[in-house]
Structures are given as C-alpha cells and as structure tokens.
Amino acid sequence: QVHLVESGGGVVQPGRSLRLSCVASGFTFRNYGMHWVRQAPGKGLEWVAVIWSAVSNIYYAESVKGRFTISRDNSKNMLYLQMDSLRAEDTAVYYCVRDSDNGNYHFDYWGQGTLVTVSS
Amino acid sequence: DIQMTQSPSTLSASVGDRVAITCRASQSISSWLAWYQQKPGRAPNLLIYKASSLDTGVPSRFSGSGSGTEFTLTISSLQPDDFATYYCQQYNSYSRTFGPGTKVEIK
C-alpha cells in the first residue's frame, strides 16, 4: 500500500534553513505529482508547493516563493523541501502528499507529517 | 488566487442527524473540488473528489454535490466516527487553496 514518511523537522532559529525529506513506497513514484502541505498549530491547511511527475512543472504558494525549494529524486523515491530564511510564521506540521495523477489533481495519500518550529 | 469559504465554521449535531456543509469558491472551479476529513493529531483523509466522486472505502453516507462556485458535503446519518473537521479544496488552478474548515461537534 501507499506509504509516505516525512523526516527532518525540528526547532530552528529564524533566518536559518532546514531540509525536509519524504520517502515514498507502495507505488511507482516517478509517475505521480507530489506536494507539500502545512498546518500551523490549531489552524487550517495551507498548500505549499507541487512538483509534477514531469519535473519541469514546479509551483509555490506566494507565502514561500523565493524561500522554499521543492525537489525530487525518482531513483530514490524521495521528495524534498529545502526551506531557507525561515520565519516564525513557517511553524507548522508539514505533510508530504501524493497527487492522484501528474500533479494537477486532488490529493489522495498523506504522510503523517513532521513538525517544524521556528523560534529563537 | 482562488479564495474558498466554508459555512458553518462549527456545526453541533447528534448521532443520526443529516448534516450539510457548504463550500464556496471566489470564481468558477467547474467540478475541481475535493473534500477531506481530519481528526485531531491525524493527517487529513480524502472523502470526495471532482465534487461528487466518493473515494474508495468511504462510507456511502457521505456525498458531494455542486459545480461552478457552490458545493455541498452531506452526511446522511451522522455516526460517532464522523465527528471531525472537514475541509474543501479547489484544484482548478495550480495554486491550490483550502477552505478554512468546518468542525462537526457532538451536540
């Protein structure tokens, strides 16, 4: 079955960087678009970024554009989120999420999330 | 970006009740709408996609309707396992947006 496991979360100071990873299993990773979605404590869901199965298509939320970079390694079934210039408002649980197709459809599987806390 | 709103923000209901949650988009999204259920401390779970298609394994008491800018999630007979927060999400544009959520509480 589909399994998504995030790692890399933790406590980081404002202005610093952090890289999240997600290992995927149970499906042909290269055939699917992948997203990052976050949820601040006690708040709703916010889409962060998508990388299509055709890696040439990458899109970001305005709130992270220019600071975050999404990437993937299809040979390792891995998804990444490089987060630079972190701010307090980036504090959230970050979910690795599979698109139901190439990257332009609904989300069908979610990881359990990894918590990022930005605090001095 | 397309803005999504939901009403009500909180819904108090009893087991066996029929409940409906409304989701509105700031512009037409055709039928490119999904509904997710989230329980405390857990990741969201897909219920409905393309406005009215039930995901595999989702109980038939859940149904979705609507197109364009107005959508509804209906639970025909509320069960104890259904007390949770529900989010709508549009995927008409590459910049995805979620509604703010509707919390379904026990009355």
Q: How many Cβ contacts (< 8 angstroms) between chains A and B?
A: 55
- φ, ψ for residue A90, nearest 5 deg: -85, -5
Task: Give the pLDDT score at A55.
Answer: 74
Q: What is the average pLDDT value for chain A, to the nearest integer?
A: 96
CB within 8 Å of chain A, chain B residues 37-76: 38, 42-46, 49-50, 55
For B75, the token pair is: 């639970």
Distance between CA atoms of A11 and B21, rounded to whole angstroms?
A: 37
Chain A contact set for B38 (CB, 8 A): 45
Q: To the nearest 10°, the Cα dihedral for B24, B29, B33, B39?
A: -40
A25, two tokens: 């299993």
Query: Which residue among A95, A107, A111 places its CB closest to the CB of B46?
Result: A107
* Section A79-100 average pLDDT: 98
| Position A97 pLDDT exceeds 80 | yes
Q: What is the pLDDT of residue A103?
A: 82
The answer to whether the Cβ–Cβ distance between A44 and B101 falls below 8 Å is: yes
- Its sign, for the CA torsion B17, B18, B21, B22, is negative
Instruction: Using alpha carbons, select from B50, B58, B2 the residue that is nearest to residue B25.
Output: B2
Say if residue A59's pLDDT is above 80.
yes
Q: Do A111 and B43 touch (CB under 8 A)?
A: yes
Tell me the average pLDDT of chain B: 97
| pLDDT tens series, chain B, 107 aa | 899 999 999 999 999 999 999 999 999 999 999 999 999 999 999 999 999 999 999 999 999 999 999 999 999 999 999 999 999 999 999 899 999 999 999 88
- Residue A27: other Cβ atoms inside 10 A: 15
Query: pLDDT confidence of A53, banded at 50, 70, 90?
Result: confident
CA A118, distance to chain mean position in Å, is: 16
pLDDT tier at A115 (50, 70, 90 boundaries)? Answer: very high
Q: Indicate left, alpha or beta for B61 from its phi (over 0: left) and psi (-120 to 50: alpha).
A: alpha
